[in-house]
Structure 1
């Protein structure tokens, strides 16, 4: 039975073309087809002549055809199809992704303004999609189109994980991504000192107290990941417990990662503050995984 396809949204922008390339490589790893979708909202009939609307439709079709042809040149064995939709881009991608295993979009599209880190379409689909969404930033000087230099010769996947509220859908996605890439998985848990340790009366925190609290967090993270280590025995896991704000801890750790995996965290149709911050500041692709249930 053919696996669920990877879906890539494109609009001709640098980010969307980087996203399409990332999606193609992911489809090859998964041995599934790639669907390339371009969408633009329909123009009002009473304002725009039918001829102009037809021209815009053909422009979109040529864009999709060009992206598919370009990807085929680099991935000749990849099964691909393209699609043009006259629909709001976010709604079109959410609709098209109902049977996809993964939706991949650029961090920002051809609209918006200079300096915008993440566009409205990327934020909307990351917050509302029924399955995982990967948001790909534009390539920056010194980065590599086919990945980043691995650390110590081994690629890395970084996962944000809270052992106090474990989200195993996030863990399964991250472990699977690490397994398919032959990558080390770094599970990052940020923590903070207990409230009593940072009260106004506290002049300093004893080293042994801090070490004891940190050891508790390490054990809690190890316990929470035990079932996934058993499920994915081929994946090497490094657990990092970091005394930092969660977004800062993840961004620091993921600077040389192939992929950063986070949970949606904000409930239905919402991104949590950590995920939102990570999307706006990450220089690497970010997978946003909805929590199960």
Structure 2
């Protein structure tokens, strides 16, 4: 059985954008869409019974309205609804255990004006066992049409199959071009020290070697997905800066996250963390064991 697409809903603009993208993704994959509403975080260890019942009623109504709206837009889509009394972050991570993809808004109802990424989204991206797509409130044409460019952050010296496969698959499903970005900066001492200077000839030789390496490493995925048009760039920039520059006109940015079995709350690397806080398009964070 193919696993469903899971999305958290809380009535916010960000969650509505995430639900719309999740519905299109589920329809594209031919799998059910699972809506999850979790109890909002309240002060105190114990919530009075009547208040809890009212919160559940409000959540049930939100789920019903959202499901009806999405089913109206996607008549063939099977929509399921789930409620949880757990806090949103824990509920999403737990429910992602039997999902093929988790979609969440960059922010929900909490936080403060100007906050780029909320704590729930960060926890989901860092700890969910499946790939997570984080969606800004205005996710661009990726959500609407599915014909925009997909950008993949990649390192030919440490290729990660799960991340590359996700990006190629996403581009293939949408007949979208894939832009592969490999970034690397020369050590500071190599350009500032009098005893070690990188010449233009050195740089050109390095770039030629890296282009060949990148082409060789990507070949298995290009053979697996022959319909995907692939372009690649080597950038002498910090990886996060290179990815953000490349994703300026993109509709999906794909990065990896090393899965840490011993870290219960997971862990986001510095590149993924920076990208999430500054990206203007949906970002897919794909866990991997490499």
User: TM-score over 0.5 for the alignment?
Assistant: yes
The alignment yields a C-alpha RMSD, in angstroms, of 2.3
| Unaligned segments of structure 2, at least 5 residues | none
Please report how far the alpha carbon of residue 194 of structure 1 lies from its aligned counterpart in structure 2 after TM superposition. 5.3
Cα distance in 1, alignment partners of residues 176 and 204 from structure 2: 30
| Unaligned segments of structure 1, at least 5 residues | none
Asked whether 1:271 is paired with 2:264, we answer no
Please report how far the alpha carbon of residue 86 of structure 1 lies from its aligned counterpart in structure 2 after TM superposition. 0.6
Q: Is the 8 A contact 1:105 1:122 kept in 2?
A: yes
What's the secondary structure of 2:288's corresponding residue?
coil
TM-score, normalised to structure 2, is: 0.91
Equivalent residue, structure 2, for 1:256: 249
Of 278, 283, 286, which residue of structure 2 is paired with 1:286? 283
Of 190, 198, 222, which residue of structure 2 is paired with 1:229? 222
Q: Is the 8 A contact 1:147 1:258 kept in 2?
A: no
Asked whether 1:187 is paired with 2:180, we answer yes
How far does the alpha carbon of each residue in 1:152-181 deviate from its partner, in whole angstroms, 9 at most, with x for none?
A: xx6211100011111111001001001100
Q: Is the 8 A contact 2:259 2:288 kept in 1?
A: no
Please report how far the alpha carbon of residue 205 of structure 1 lies from its aligned counterpart in structure 2 after TM superposition. 4.3
Give the direction of change, closer, same or farther, for the CA distance of 1:132–1:200 in structure 2 (3 Å limit).
same
Equivalent residue, structure 1, for 2:120: 121
Give the direction of change, closer, same or farther, for the CA distance of 1:49–1:243 in structure 2 (3 Å limit).
same
How far does the alpha carbon of each residue in 1:171-225 deviate from its partner, in whole angstroms, 9 at most, with x for none?
A: 0100100110001111100012256632421697432222111112212211211
What's the secondary structure of 1:264's corresponding residue?
strand
Asked whether 1:164 is paired with 2:161, we answer no
Give the direction of change, closer, same or farther, for the CA distance of 1:164–1:45 in structure 2 (3 Å limit).
closer
Please report how far the alpha carbon of residue 241 of structure 1 lies from its aligned counterpart in structure 2 after TM superposition. 0.8
TM-score, normalised to structure 1, is: 0.90
| Displacement over 4 Å in runs of 4+ | 41-48, 202-205, 265-268
Equivalent residue, structure 1, for 2:90: 91
Q: How do 1:42-53 residues align onto structure 2 when only pairs under 5 Å count?
A: 48-53=47-52
Asked whether 1:173 is paired with 2:159, we answer no
Equivalent residue, structure 2, for 1:36: 35
Range moving further from structure 2, 206-215 or 156-165: 206-215
